[in-house]
Structure 1
Amino acid sequence: MGDFTAVLQAGRSVPEGATYLPAEPTTVFWGRLPAAGDAPVLVVAPGTEVVVDTVSHEGILEDQGRDPVAWFAAHGVSREAVLDEAVALAASDHPHDPAVDGPHVVTGPIAVEGAMPGDLVSVTILDTTPRVPYGVISNRHGKGALPGELPAAPGNVSVFTPIEPDASGGWVGALPLVEGGPRVVRFPLAPFLGTIGVAVADEERPHSVPPGAHGGNIDIKLLTEGAVLHLPVQVPGANVYVGDPHFAQGDGEVALTALEASLRVTIRLDLIPREEALRQFGEVLGPMVETDELLVPTGHDRDLDEAMRQCVRAALSLIAARWGMAEHLAYAYLSAATDFRISEVVDIVQGVRAEIRKADFDGVVR
Structure 2
Amino acid sequence: MTNIQKSGRTIHVHRNQRHAFWDHSVEPIDTIQSGEIVEFDLFDSAGGQFGPTSTVEDVAKLDFALVDHVNGPIYVEGAEPGDTLEVEIVDLQPATWGWTAVIPGFGLLADEFTEPALKIWQLEDGADGWAEFAPGIRIPLAPFCGEIGLAPAAPGPHSTIPPYRHGGNMDTKHLTKGAHLYLPIEVQGALYSMGDGHAAQGDGEVCGTAIEAPMHATVRLTVRKDIQVQEPQFLTSGPLTVRTNTAPYYGTDGIGPDPAEATRNAVRHMIDHLVRTYGLSRNDAYMLCSVVVDLKLCEVVDMPNWLVAALLPLSIFS
Q: TM-score, normalised by structure 2?
A: 0.67
2:99 to 114, 133, 136: 136
Match of 1:104 in 2: 68
Q: How far apart are residue 255 of structure 1 and its match? A: 1.3
2:53 to 62, 73, 91: 73
Match of 1:188 in 2: 140
Q: How far apart are residue 139 of structure 1 and its match? A: 1.6
Task: State the secondary structure of the residue aligned to 2:52.
Answer: helix
Q: How far apart are residue 269 of structure 1 and its match? A: 0.4
Assess if the C-alpha contact under 8 Å between 1:102 and 1:209 holds in 2: no
Q: How many residues align?
A: 239
Match of 2:35 in 1: 47
Q: How far apart are residue 171 of structure 1 and its match? A: 1.6
TM-aligned CA distance change 1:231 to 1:134, over 3 Å: same
Distance 1:128 1:208 in 2: 21
Mapping of residues 6-21 of structure 1, within 5 Å = 16-17=7-8, 19-21=10-12
Q: RMSD over aligned Cα, in angstroms? A: 3.1
The residue type equivalent to 1:162 in the other structure is Q
Match of 1:277 in 2: 227
TM-aligned CA distance change 1:235 to 1:165, over 3 Å: closer
Distance 1:269 1:170 in 2: 24
Matched, 1:145 2:108: yes
Distance 2:217 2:202 in 1: 21
2:231 to 267, 286, 308: 286
The residue type equivalent to 1:174 in the other structure is E
Task: State the secondary structure of the residue aligned to 1:277.
Answer: coil
Task: State the secondary structure of the residue aligned to 2:108.
Answer: coil
Unpaired runs of 5+ residues, structure 2, are: 56-61, 240-257, 261-294, 298-318
Deviation by residue 1:159-202 (Cα, 9 ceiling, x = unmatched):
11112359xx95211122xxxxxx34211100111110000112
Match of 1:209 in 2: 161
Task: State the secondary structure of the residue aligned to 1:256.
Answer: coil
Structure (1/2) with the larger strand percentage: 2
Q: How far apart are residue 15 of structure 1 and its match? A: 9.4
Distance 1:271 1:161 in 2: 38
Distance 2:28 2:128 in 1: 37
Match of 2:14 in 1: 23
Distance 2:74 2:231 in 1: 19
Task: State the secondary structure of the residue aligned to 1:150.
Answer: coil
Mapping of residues 1-366 of structure 1, within 5 Å = 16-17=7-8, 19-25=10-16, 27-30=17-20, 32-33=21-22, 35-58=23-46, 60-61=48-49, 68=50, 71-74=51-54, 98=64, 101=65, 103-130=67-94, 132-151=95-114, 153=115, 156-164=116-124, 171-176=129-134, 183-273=135-225, 276-278=226-228, 284-291=229-236, 341=296
Identity fraction in percent: 33
Assess if the C-alpha contact under 8 Å between 1:47 and 1:270 holds in 2: yes
Q: How far apart are residue 158 of structure 1 and its match? A: 2.2
Assess if the C-alpha contact under 8 Å between 1:102 and 1:207 holds in 2: no
Match of 2:307 in 1: none
